[in-house]
A and B are shown apart, each in its own frame.
Chain A
Amino acid sequence: MKGTFGRLVRIFLSYGVRILSLLLAVSIIAFVLVSASPIDPVQQYLIRLGTTVSPEQRTEIEAYWGVHQPPVQRYLHWLSELLKGNLGESSLYRRPVSDLIRERFLNSLTLMLCAWALSGVIGFFGGCVMGMCRDRLPDRILKRICYILSSVPTFWLGLIFLLVFSVRLKWFPIGFSSPVGVLSESVTLWQKTHHLILPALTLSLMSFSNIALHTRQKLIDVLNSEYVLFARARGENDWTILRRHGLRNILFPALTLQFASFAELFGGSVMAENVFSYPGLGSAVSAAGLNGDLPLLLGITLFSTLFVCVGNLIANLLYGVIDPRVREVGES
């Protein structure tokens, strides 16, 4: 067990360094990209201010934004503030970006966690069914469903759900994670859940096919393996084989894949949150982009990268736990 622990520490350290280098690179690239934009953040800021601004005020604001400084200096200034924990102020919401991210991330996390768990459980189960019934009717039907689902854009699926469950059946509200006009403290858990179900369902259906098809393939590999042949020779039936060998060998790869797919999850949540007007990071990032809210755009970009990297780190660690034993399966 000591070997495993040492390996995990090594993975943690080397991947941690990698995460830092990636975050630094993303911060530079993102900063260059938003600086290159023809969209003028000062202009955007002023437009939203509504009132007429005197030239003096304008110069003051421009100085605040550092428009006249060279880009490198501006970047270094932004970076040093970032390291102090100051992500700037959102021009769109008029609040510190860090507060905004914290609050919105909590909402997004709830949504993503639900979808992640749901797609993981259903996808894994579906994959097992497909693998066990390989090339027979249940497998063919589920496989077809998976292929179709992976061709359906997330946001359209969301629209259809809205149309069916909210507009027609009136089971769920249209938009907003809490009822309009109710203070956020007095929103009950039920109301929150009520607003969460459709977006979570949409998001989970998006990643369902990926995990299901992966699990199917892994299970088929296991069923074709030499050790399952031996298990059959010893009189184990299909069900016993799935229970004793199948689950044991495919659960970890599936979990690893789930953690490694945080990028798709986050991308999907951007779409789902926009369709359902869910107040998470996804709807904030598109609003920031559309309204030229640079601090928010940069902040969320960095944060989403961190989120994805943490997922990858967990996947790598999980892989490190099973690595030596899996290596031999991989070779056969």
Chain B
Amino acid sequence: MVFEIIDVIISGLINGSVYALMAVGLTLVYGVTKAFNFAYGSFYNMGGYFAWMLLIPVGLIGGYFSVFFVAIPVFFVVGYLLEKILISPLRKHDDWEMKVMMLTLGLSLFMDFGYQAVFGPRIKSLPGMIEGTLELGQVVLFHQDIVIFILSVGGMICFGWLLNNTRTGMAVQAVAQNPAGAKIVGIPKDFIFAATFAISTIMVGLGGILLSQKTFIDPMGSTNIMIKAWVITAFGGMGSISGSLYAAFILGMLEAFVGWHFGMIYVQIATLTLLLVTLTIRPRGLMGRE
């Protein structure tokens, strides 16, 4: 029983770490632009399919190391162009935040049906990054899970460092905290909006590469990921990065315990219950501002 619970906690931590990596990107976009990217789940799938293409049909030398090396700049460009080509023209109109939500919702459906058309309706699986297990007494850890956890936490640490120590990171923080104040100090808001979309696309794409190894790549599975990211963002507090981090690990744990104790069919119900209860009792979430 005790070892089962330890397994559940470990599973919750691993999933929570990847959720955190993904949700922080969505929170960042909301915090900076005040618009919600409903295509986020589809960009998660983009990560999975991108890795699958490079590893299986292309057979890229260097395995996952090469995949990450190629993926980061590609995802950056995709996110940047998404903002510049599709989002930026909308920002000239009134009520543009709502228009962005409608556009990204449409984009999500377009991408999902596109995946289905290109890769077929059947799920695909990614090979594990690393084989083997680590036995600590009666607790058995997969090397793959350990690597996923390390990469997710490492990704967040890198993100935090970039946010606090680079020119662009400081500008992103400034625009998120006070767009008018950012104007006073001459920060180019258009570039920061595009950079924010680019960074968030990297984060969710990497999340897709990491987590798709444990689950599968499902062309219509983006809704499930979108719901998780949405719940984490609302539960943590819209726009609060630290809130999203806490919320991601809490959601990871909740899913692991509900799945273990009640069955996987109840996981999504528990997730959405968390969202509804949060929005009813504390609409600003764990750490959101009024």
Q: Do A and B bind each other?
A: no
Q: Which residues of B come within 8 Å of A, CB atoms?
A: none
Taking beta carbons and an 8 Å cutoff, which residues of A are in contact with B?
none
